[in-house]
Amino acid sequence: MLDIAFIREHPELVRHAAKVKGIALDLDRLLDLDAERRRLVARIEGLRAERNRRSPEVPRLQGQEREQAVRELRELGNQLEELEPVLESVERELESLMLLVPNPPAPEVPVGESDADNREVRRWGEPPRFDFPALDHATLGERLGLVDLPRGVRLAGSRYYVLRGDGALLERAVLCYAMDLLVRKGFVPLSVPMLVREEAMRGTGYFPGGEEQAYAVPRDGLYLIGTAEVPVTAYHAGEILAEDDLPLYYAGFSGCFRREAGAAGRDTAGVYRVHQFYKVEQVVLGRADAEESARHLEFITANAEELLQGLELPYRVVAVCTGEMGQGQVKKYDIETWMPSRQAYCETHSASMFHDFQARRLKMRYRDREGTIRYVHTLNNTALASPRILIPLLEVHQQADGSVRIPPVLRPYLAGRERLGA
């Protein structure tokens, strides 16, 4: 959510942000409602002040003067009874529109409509060249007894799976590796609830607009999270932190659930796009400083790159264009890892910078050293998501004899083993 004063002062910037992000927004209606709200607030406050000023005088009056004063006070009360519901209605509509206002992208963000307009920033590693018929991850997983797709579908339907044996151990290994790497860098690990209230989904910007992607539990008024970003970012909602405690670095671990509404027929083979998965998420809460936030964005992106380099997986970093960014993001990087079966770099990580967009919704603030209350800046990044990361891990490191080489960084988590299926 943006500051209404900022919207008033920069309507064309907000209008441009909505255009380049492809977000429908009736900004004129929002500004009209804001003006009407301010007019009503001034009128109501004036009436209340007048009533408060005159009420103590009534007991001192007599006769007709007293009757006249009572009638006038009653009229003030009637006017307030008429205006207060009008103000409430205006505020509700204004709030609903405020939740749709996009955060303007940073000037360096490429303008575009689809991922074809993303701009490559850098690459690391070289895609492997196989001198044998390479297999896709689903075939490798089946042959090595790592993945059981048919039984996963039988248990829960399409886009579900079972990791078994070494597949389950490999997933545990990559998740532990990611968490350990972040802890060494000063991140505080958090194991968070996977069910949250609507306020957390709305506060982090997933609602309104993302309801179709979320699994709901109506009986309890809760939602299954699609990323640990939601509970970790909302962890300090409603609090006033101290500037000296910032920045806060959190590494959240959770299961994640997404309906993948509208994705029928896309990426149905294997475990690329599934309904249930696990993530280790980096979240940063920092000071209200745009330059500092930019440094945090580079830091968390570099952490994800270090993780991929340890896994010896070729990747590229792209600056995400405006049309592919979310409503609240000021700047975003995607990391795309090489997947041999697709002969393409495919998204495995995202890093996002929000400035105070989420913090305003969550009422998450800090007191600076001069005593001024400010909203924190938030950022997040997918340190690792499984089982998607298993796709390049299996495919890139497959061997001619059908085994899969284990990168050295994972061997301590797998009893020192060098291969799966050897």
In angstroms, the CA 321 to CA 118 distance is 5
Is 343 exposed, middle or buried (CB count within 10 Å of its CB: 0-12, 13-18, 19+)?
Answer: exposed
Let me know if 361 is a catalytic residue: no
Say whether 55 is catalytic: no
**Could you tell me the two tokens for 231?**
């509970």
- How far is Cα 157 from Cα 202, in angstroms, rounded to an integer? 29
Q: Which residue among 164, 273, 367, 374 is the active-site one?
A: 273
Please say if 57 is a catalytic residue. no
User: Catalytic one among 350, 360, 365, 386?
Assistant: 350
Can you tell me the distance from the alpha carbon of 286 to that of 12, in angstroms, rounded to the nearest whole number? 28
Catalytic residue at 403?
A: no
Among 360, 361, 365, 388, the active-site one is: 388
Task: Decide if 388 is catalytic.
Answer: yes
Residue 348 CA to residue 326 CA, distance in Å, equals 17
- Cis-peptide, bond into residue 387, ω within 30° of zero: yes
Which DSSP string do the residues of 165-206 spell out, in sequence order?
A: THHHHHHHHHHHHHHHHHHHTTPEEEE--SEEEHHHHHHTT-
Task: Quote the CA–CA distance of 188 and 414 in Å, as a whole number.
Answer: 24
Q: Which secondary-structure segment (H or E) carries 383?
A: strand 377-386
- Single out the catalytic residue among 258, 360, 361, 365: 258
Among the listed residues 72, 91, 312, 347, the single catalytic one is: 347
**Residues contacting 221, CB < 8 A, separation 6+:** 197, 198
Angle at 122 (CA atoms; ends 116, 125), nearest 5 degrees: 110
Angle (CA) 191 192 194, round 5°: 130
**What tokens appear for 57 in the block?**
């005088």
CB atoms within 10 A of CB 14: 22
d(CA 339, CA 332): 22
Residue type, 87: L
3-state secondary structure of 40: helix
Q: Which residues are catalytic?
A: 258, 273, 347, 350, 388
